[in-house]
Amino acid sequence: MTTARQLQALLDGPHAALRAETRARLSQLGLEKGDGLARDDYRDLVLEWAREIGRAGDGARSFPVAYGGQDDPGGRIATFQTLGHGDLSLLVKMGVQFGLFGGAVHRLGTDKHHAAYLRDVGTLDLPGCFAMSESGHGSDVRSIRTQARYDAEAGEFVLHTPDETARKDWIGNAARHARLAAVFAQLDVAGEAQGVHAFLVPIRHLDGSVVEGVEIEDCGEKMGLQGVDNGRLRFNAVRIPRDNLLDRFGTVSPDGIYSSPVSSPGARFFTMIGALVEGRICIGGAGLAVARNALTIAVRWGERRRQFGTGLDMDTPLMDYLTHQRRLLPAVCQSYALQAAHDHLTQSYVDVLRTGEGQREVEALAAGLKAVATWHMVDAVQQSRECCGAKGYLTENRFASLRADSDVFVTFEGDNTVLMQLVAKTLLSDYAAQFEDLDAVGMVRHLTTRQAGRVLEDLGRSFKRADLHDPQWQTTALEFREDRLVDALARRLRTLVKAGTDPLRALSQCQDHALAAARAHVERHVHQLFRAKATTPLLEQVRNLAVLSTIESDRAWWLEHGFLSADASRDLQKQVNVLCADLRPHALILVAGFGIPDALLRAPIAVDPQTGGAGSD
């Protein structure tokens, strides 16, 4: 018998103690104090909260020990995810201050910057912002148009916003609190373009007044996250000292000579946007936390709420209905599976920071998992809301803020669709590298060797219903799809390009194919990681429902490619129903394993019917 505590231990992973601390601290903040506050008051309260949580350790957790930190980026990512169970404005505010702004100073700056700023960043004595996005460009940092010209005579950089499309936009912390901004701009030294670099630009004085030459405006009312002061920044020939260039990857000597330890501007750029990777990992993780809040509320209500009259007995809990199970239980199981991938990604990222190796793979995974996790979140929140009917529409039951606050996760820190194309591009590069020396025949042989032959032989005659529960069959199914999609995509592109199509245009023509390949890759990856964690009978069922519902939703693909026969496909659907019925008695345990205290759920309808609301933490 797997207990809720064992499940929670699995989800909490190596940072269980830190997560427990964060939950306790969040629970004591009194998050209800934010409800219904006027915007500015709420923003100031969120700043206070961020300071409190920050000073308790989260602010500097990933910073060097010498500057008050703990040199523990993995711990920071774990506690950030845990914050996702609470107030999402607080989450984002902390992400901006400690992750993006602090991360820029830490990762793009050098000792002088660390010494001057990191301690105050970590305690929130120095509120700052991360001024990368501009109004005119979407997700492509290369297109940044803010100017940073070096004036050798004065030994200063001159930051300037040439026009409206270059104004910094959506900058969290900018509209009300930040004193210092990490501004991304195109560096021009003696007329030569050196690409995007980051500069520390004071934007407010200690008394809150705005620095001359800087213009700040509020982005205006948002769908959610009212506690985050997103703003727009314009610079009118603002001068900053030479030392304010964050110069780890490129520096300018007093007399105006540019030098960089990174050879090409392309590679420099790549290093620069590495700062975004941690943000994407964090948002993906937080998305999973938000989904778990929603699912916990819906499952508990589904257990309490009786549906009179329209069904079975007069007294049937909603959770007994197949449609209800199908809307909630696969998502509950996905929550477990996705967490395994999130934990692995966190560890891989920490390894990259330590060794400097494997960066490209982690960037692609961070992008893909952020997209898949936050889309999962949107679906889970919507289904959960609908499953709670009118009760779910009441603000007090939290779906209003869960959804409004989290919705932007799918488009910020990289739009999900764009991120998935980035994944596809990485898959294509890997594919090209792998087959560099192979001709078409060689490629086919490779694929056949890996699995295709065995698979097609397994098919039809030999398919047994029991295969669906066999983790090796599940893995093979997901690998088969990924390999075929990537292979077919590469061939399509090659054909188009050979016929004279511009490569970018060719990729655009295959965009839906590229997205499918990227999703297949991420889903296979998630399954592979969760498979290793599914070590008890209950978790095996969780794995089965997670993977079979994934295959079910795209089962047409396997039918089209001869992997599933019509009968097998119908069996698959039946097995999803069977698994829903089998897991239904464990629904409360599975959400208890999410370990979200009632003080964070804050939904009257989510009082745990077994504990009477005591929660599991």
CA distance 299 to 294: 9
- Applying CB under 8 A, does 446 fall inside the site for its own copies? no
Q: Which is nearer to its own copies, 449 or 508 (CB)?
A: 508
- Applying CB under 8 A, does 193 fall inside the site for its own copies? no
In the shown chain, the binding pattern of residues 362 to 391 toward its own copies, with x for contact by CB under 8 A and - for none, equals ----------------x---x--xx--xx-
Q: Which is nearer to its own copies, 78 or 510 (CB)?
A: 510
Task: List the interface residues with its own copies, window 275-314 (CB under 8 A).
Answer: 305, 307-312
Q: What are the residues facing 225 on neighbouring strands?
A: none
Query: Which residue carries 């620095």 as its tokens?
Result: 211
- Applying CB under 8 A, does 587 fall inside the site for its own copies? no
- Applying CB under 8 A, does 436 fall inside the site for its own copies? no
- Applying CB under 8 A, does 17 fall inside the site for its own copies? no
- Applying CB under 8 A, does 408 fall inside the site for its own copies? yes
Q: Nearest distance from residue 335's CB to its own copies, in Å?
A: 20
Stretch that binds its own copies, among 236-244, 270-278, 345-353, 412-420 (CB under 8 A): 412-420
Query: Which residue carries 């990777």 as its tokens?
Result: 277
Q: Nearest distance from residue 210's CB to its own copies, in Å?
A: 22
- Applying CB under 8 A, does 396 fall inside the site for its own copies? yes
- Applying CB under 8 A, does 508 fall inside the site for its own copies? yes
Q: Nearest distance from residue 371's CB to its own copies, in Å?
A: 11
Q: Nearest distance from residue 217's CB to its own copies, in Å?
A: 13
Among 16, 152, 394, 496, binds its own copies (CB under 8 A): 394
Task: List the interface residues with its own copies, window 115-144 (CB under 8 A).
Answer: 133, 136-140, 142-143
Among 322, 432, 440, 444, binds its own copies (CB under 8 A): 322
Nearest to 173 by CA among 133, 130, 217, 207: 130
Among 149, 160, 222, 304, binds its own copies (CB under 8 A): 222
> What's the gap between Cα 469 and its chain centre?
30
Q: Nearest distance from residue 62's CB to its own copies, in Å?
A: 26
- Applying CB under 8 A, does 112 fall inside the site for its own copies? no
**CB–CB of 98/59 below 8 Å?**
yes
- Applying CB under 8 A, does 501 fall inside the site for its own copies? no
Nearest to 421 by CA among 553, 341, 494, 516: 516
Q: Nearest distance from residue 116's CB to its own copies, in Å?
A: 32
Structure token pair of residue 449: 């060797």
- Applying CB under 8 A, does 407 fall inside the site for its own copies? yes
Nearest to 80 by CA among 6, 32, 23, 159: 23
Phi, psi of 157 (to 5 degrees): -95, 145
Q: Which is nearer to its own copies, 332 or 576 (CB)?
A: 576
**CB–CB of 410/389 below 8 Å?**
no
- Applying CB under 8 A, does 326 fall inside the site for its own copies? yes
Other Cβ atoms within 10 Å of 560 Cβ, number: 9
Nearest to 346 by CA among 253, 281, 437: 281
Q: Which is nearer to its own copies, 4 or 603 (CB)?
A: 603
Alpha-carbon torsion (575, 578, 580, 586), positive or negative: negative
Q: Nearest distance from residue 436's CB to its own copies, in Å?
A: 26
Stretch that binds its own copies, among 249-257, 335-343, 508-516, 540-548 (CB under 8 A): 508-516
Q: Nearest distance from residue 501's CB to its own copies, in Å?
A: 11
Q: Which is nearer to its own copies, 379 or 540 (CB)?
A: 379
Q: With b meaning 16 or more CB within 10 Å and e meaning fewer, what string describes 155-194?
A: ebbbbbbeeeebbbbbbbbbbbbbbbbbbbbbbbbeeeeb
Q: Which is nearer to its own copies, 236 or 573 (CB)?
A: 573
Q: What are the residues facing 151 on neighbouring strands?
A: 156
Contacts of 105 (CB under 8 A, 6+ apart): 113, 114, 117, 118, 121, 128, 182, 200, 246
Q: Which is nearer to its own copies, 42 or 321 (CB)?
A: 321
- Applying CB under 8 A, does 217 fall inside the site for its own copies? no
Among 146, 186, 339, 416, binds its own copies (CB under 8 A): 416
- Applying CB under 8 A, does 511 fall inside the site for its own copies? yes
Among 16, 219, 459, 496, binds its own copies (CB under 8 A): 219
- Applying CB under 8 A, does 495 fall inside the site for its own copies? no
Task: List the interface residues with its own copies, window 20-39 (CB under 8 A).
Answer: 36
Task: List the interface residues with its own copies, window 150-189 (CB under 8 A).
Answer: 169-170
Strands 180-189 and 192-202: antiparallel
CA distance 169 to 479: 41
Residues shown for the chain:
617
Count, residues near its own copies per rule CB under 8 A = 74
Q: Nearest distance from residue 471's CB to its own copies, in Å?
A: 23
Q: Nearest distance from residue 205's CB to its own copies, in Å?
A: 29
CA distance 182 to 175: 14
In the shown chain, the binding pattern of residues 60 to 99 toward its own copies, with x for contact by CB under 8 A and - for none, equals ----------------------------------------
**CB–CB of 276/135 below 8 Å?**
no
Q: Which is nearer to its own copies, 491 or 505 (CB)?
A: 505
Task: List the interface residues with its own copies, window 554-573 (CB under 8 A).
Answer: 555-556, 559-562, 566, 569-570, 573
Q: Which is nearer to its own copies, 140 or 357 (CB)?
A: 140
Q: What are the residues facing 234 on neighbouring strands?
A: 215
Q: Which is nearer to its own copies, 291 or 529 (CB)?
A: 291
Q: What is the dihedral of CA 516, 518, 524, 526, to 10 degrees?
A: -120
Contacts of 274 (CB under 8 A, 6+ apart): 107, 359, 363
Q: Nearest distance from residue 581's CB to its own copies, in Å?
A: 9
Q: Transcribe 270-298 into DSSP letters.
A: HHHHHHHHHHHHHHHHHHHHHHHHHHHHH
The three-point CA angle 606-78-37 to 5° equals: 50
CA distance 50 to 224: 18
**CB–CB of 262/250 below 8 Å?**
yes
Query: To which H or E segment does residue 218 belong?
Result: strand 214-218
Nearest to 89 by CA among 148, 27, 31, 142: 31
